[in-house]
Every structure is written in structure tokens, then in C-alpha cells.
Amino acid sequence: MKIKIYETLKSIFRQNRNVVEDNNIDYRSAKMILKNDKDAKLIDVRSPQEYKEGHLPSSINLPLYKIEEQSKELLPDLNSAIIVYCQSGSRSNKAIELLKEQGYKKLYNIEGGLDNI
């Protein structure tokens, strides 16, 4: 009986868990995706000022507050791998949610952002 309840609860949590957690990768994995997938994009969702102060090579600055209006223009392929990052991982988690709502399929978040690199 206890095992059945545990399995049921586990299934419910798995279905309702924040999907963003499944998208977290480390910086090393992000570099591998970018190396092996020529169409993959690296997106910095920090402000333009933060981006100017320093960013990862080959990244595109698409601030979180502009994602809904500019993503289709800068990221036309819904099936390309998109790796997002920010300073700590918070804004990039939100960016993943917004991009997912717009139909993007292969989304990855550099867990912990630049603070974790």
C-alpha cells in the first residue's frame, strides 16, 4: 500500500514539476551543443548594459523584457537548439518559459548563469 501511494505521488509530482528544471545544463554541455550543432544559438537575456560589460563568445543579446517582441525575428527556427543564460539563472529560467510558450522546442538554460561559470 505504501509503495503504491509513493508511486502515485511521484507520478503526480513528475507531471506537475516545473519543466524548466529539465532544461538545465552546465556550461560544458552548452559548449558541446554549440560545437556539434551549427544552427544552435547562444542567447544572453541580460540587459544591453550588462552584455556590454562582458558576455560569452558568440552570444546574442536578447534581453528578457524583449523576448516576446524580438524572438521570432532573431530566432526564426522553432526547432533549432537555443541556449540561454543570464547572471544567476533566474532570468534565463523565465526566458525558457516564454520561448516555450512561443513554440520553441530545444531549449536549454545554463544553470546558475555566469555566476556558475
Catalytic residue positions? 86
Q: 58-95 burial by CB neighbour count: b if 16+ within 10 A, else e?
A: ebebbbbeebeeebeeebeeeeebbbbbbbebebbbbb
The greatest distance separating any two alpha carbons of the chain, rounded to the nearest whole angstrom, comes to: 58
Alpha-helical (H) ranges within 17-117 are 27-36, 48-53, 67-74, 90-101
39 in Cβ contact with 80 (< 8 Å):
yes
